[in-house]
Chains A and B, each alone.
Chain A
Amino acid sequence: MKEKKVKWLWSYNVDKTECWLSEMAKKGWHLSSVNRWTRIFTLEKGEQKHVTYHIQYDSKNHSLPTTLQKEGWNIAVSVGNWLFLTNEVPTIRLYPSRDKLVKRNRTHAYTLSVLATFQISFSMLPIIILGILASVMEEESILAGNVWFILLLVTEIIVIASFSIYVFRAYRRFEKREMDAVIDSISSGNKLRKFKGGWMYQLEETKAWLERIAKEGYELEKVTAAVFTFRKTNPSNLKYECMFEYKVQPSYFATHKELGWKLKYSSNMTLLNYSIWAMPYEDDEEMPQFSYDKQEQRQAIKRAFKMNIGMSIYLIAILLFSFYTNTLQQVEPFIYWSFGGVMRVLLLVFLLFWSYKFIQILFSYRKSLKALD
């Protein structure tokens, strides 16, 4: 006996798909094949039993390491780069790593967002043109005549936008859970809020600042943009680490958490990621650190420096360019002239601010390198 079931978005909700497959196995339905193109899952009737499913994605390796085989894992179905693994052992100790699946869904989510943005702006064009035509020619009939065409385009836009938003959110949910990038909140203690603009550009200073506040009895709870929320918890000693990584691997957060670090902040992207960590320690203990290796500490400082200095140079270049083109314009009418006047002042202020930041980044970089020696 066979049953077929269509699962359109199974690969973006791998957890749900696995749960569903396990539920079906309890009822005696076991997976026998998957069609990647029609999204059809074929299940076969067998005996009712407890089966754990694990969906795996790997473009290089389509076999199962012996360690996993010993743990009871079997390949139920293998299609393309997908492996549907089953395990009938009641308590499983080892699971395959999901790193590659997270990466695949990340690539999909980002590519889809870019494609959707292009497609949507492309579809908007005819609507805008029709709208302009209608208002210029003062003829409502242009819009009325094309009402189906416009409706079609609008539907297309809505469908594409909702699909890409869905994929992106599913990926973020999956990634957050898989990577354990969850920030625990502190439920009690007086709140204290402080503003620190541009803290990402001086990680070492931010670290020292946070540790000073910890001495006053306040522990960081969370960071929203540049607003730091603290709670009065009277930590004895609190060590902070402010990190920058070009790219964080799926095991990044879990590894640090496993060793006692508490995640306080992580920027929303796995690329160019900033994060803040804290760990309490006793007086008689050695101060905890991400790395006790001087060379690694130097590398971390250099990495953040390269990013921040690059960012400031980029912004200064853009600001200089706009400032230059703005001052070149010699327009007479008051409206243009006054607009240019405001813009010029604004640009100059930003330019000065970022030049100041640039120097600050340079100085604090030298200071933190010196502090290491």
Chain B
Amino acid sequence: MKKVIQKYMPMTETAFYILLSLTEPRHGYGIIKRVEEMTNGRITLGSGTIYGTLTKMQRDEIITIYADDKRKTIYEIADLGKELMQAEMKRLKELHDNVLRFEGDFQ
């Protein structure tokens, strides 16, 4: 596995949801709204979290940034980011399978 991917795994919940919202290129505001929607308002992201997480990811080439006509930043997932998400989703699937398998034993 690539070093960068290793560094990010396991991902924090916010980092995971931020990347998960990037199924299409989005503005920071769009990411926040999308994450809120996906988690039914459980996770609220502040602009500081968005800025901190995404600049780090940009440095590691997990995402690419563009600007729109008003110079606002648009974030897009890069190939490395897709690889990272695949690896992380595989891990989460295993986690999920085990949850289903042993759920009954904890009742």
Contact = CB atoms under 8 A, between A and B. Distances in A.
Nearest to B59: A249
A111 B55 CA distance: 25
B104 interface: no
B8 interface: no
A261 B47 contact: yes
B51 A255 contact: yes
A93 B72 CA distance: 11
A69 B49 CA distance: 30
Q: Which of A67, A252, A255, A286 has the most CB of B within 10 A?
A: A255
Q: Is the interface of B mostly helix, strand, loop or mixed?
A: mixed
Contact of A296 (B28, B49, B74): B49
B71 interface: yes
Contacts of A68: 66
Report the contact-size class of chain A (Cβ under 8 Å from the partner). Answer: 20 to 34
A257 B69 CA distance: 16
Nearest to B13: A293
A156 to B, nearest CB: 39
B105 to A, nearest CB: 32
Contact of B65 (A97, A180, A243, A258): A97
Given A97-B73, A251-B55, A258 B47 contact: yes
Contacts of B68: 93-95
A256 B69 contact: no
A67 B25 contact: yes
Contact of A95 (B27, B47, B55, B66): B66
B27 A258 contact: yes
A289 interface: yes
Interface residues of B, number: 28
B46 to A, nearest CB: 4
Query: What is the predominant secondary structure among interface residues of chain A facing chain B?
Result: loop
Contacts of A153: none
A291 interface: yes
Contacts of B32: 259
Contacts of B27: 258
Interface in B2-19: 14
A254 interface: yes
A288 B49 CA distance: 13
A241 B47 CA distance: 11
Contact of A291 (B25, B48, B72): B48
Interface in B37-64: 44-52, 54-55, 64
A27 B65 CA distance: 33
20 contacts: A92-B69, A94-B25, A94-B67, A94-B74, A95-B66, A96-B66, A96-B67, A97-B73, A243-B48, A251-B54, A254-B72, A254-B73, A258-B28, A259-B47, A289-B48, A290-B46, A292-B44, A293-B46, A296-B48, A296-B49
Interface of A: 65, 67-68, 91-99, 178, 180, 241, 243, 249, 251-252, 254-256, 258-259, 261, 286, 288-293, 296, 300
Closest 3 CB pairs of A and B: A290-B48, A291-B48, A259-B47
